Amino acid sequence: MKTLFVIATIFISLIFFLPSQAASFNPITYTGVNLSGAEYNNTNPNAKVNFDYTYPNQAEITYYVSKGANVFRLPIAWERIQPTLNGPLNPNELALLQSTVAMIKYSGATVIIDIHNYGNFKGQAIGSTSVPATAFVNLWSRLSAVYASDKQVAFGLMNEPASQNITNWRPIIDSTIAAIRANNANNLILIPGAGWDGAHDFTSANAAGLIGIKDPANNFMIEMHEYMDSNFSGTGSTCMAPTDVVNNLMAATAWLRTNHYKGFIGEFGSSVDSNCLNGMQSMLTYFASNDDVWGGWTYWAGGPWWGTYFQSIEPANGVDKPQMGVVKLFLQK
């Protein structure tokens, strides 16, 4: 009887003390982190690497891979990778990018090249007289030629194109996809909605304009972002209730399912507030439970220059941040 009592006690302990780990048993396809830094000071034409901006190093990549990350979203600046519209890619910046991509690929992970420009080039909107849509298409035609059909490189077309609306953004998307596929580049493409690209208002702001996307390679996901503070900006350190966090995702999930698309959450984050951490766990559990339509996510953000930024998941003096305690439960293994 004593033996049976011990076994029963262990079983009950597993039930009560390890429930959160169950979520890590069946992760969605791409789970990882934004490695921020290369997009800093993008409007400074004299910016110097490792002084004004920085690319991730091997130690950072190794750390996140050791936790289970299998994808890194790498924000970069359009103005540095292509200083002149329709001109060649900057060979020095391209070398930095290629070196980073090579490190990430060597780790076994996928890298998302993210043009982190909010729909602008040097402060002027894509689609304006100063920055015609053809210039943005040219950028991706050149970049996609470098990484054509590399299965470990995905293309994040534009971070939060806030200077556009979905009506003028959709034809730019169509032309960009066509240019990428014309290079025989079958890479995964992440297609953002216009504006701030939130999941919570996706169906009202962007859904209608993204129906019927034509991709000859049929290899794309719809990128959205979702923060949990009261105005969804990611600037507040307190969050809405976990049930509200999940409720705000349901309409986008239903739309993806109805239209046979997959979604990717390119940015989300949390402070160390317990309500925020609980909300993030609820969010990631929801994605894992709806992995038929949610194909991946990347936390915002890692990177060595964040300092005391409240959402930073970069370890401090070798110690994991509280946010990692939640995120690692859901990272791909």
Residues with a known catalytic role: 160, 267
Collect all residues with Cβ–Cβ distance below 8 Å to 107 and sequence separation of at least 6: 61, 62, 65
Ranges of H-type helices in the chain: 2-17, 58-67, 78-81, 91-106, 133-146, 166-182, 202-205, 242-259, 274-289, 322-327
C-beta separation of 274 from 13 below 8 A: no
CA–CA distance, 71 with 61 (Å, rounded to integer): 10
Nearest to 120 by CA among 177, 32, 39, 204: 39
Q: Residue count of the chain, please give it.
A: 333
Question: To 5 degrees, how large is the angle CA 32–CA 220–CA 260?
Answer: 105
Q: DSSP letter at 190? A: E
**Which of 261, 168, 150, 283 has the alpha carbon at shortest distance from 212?**
261
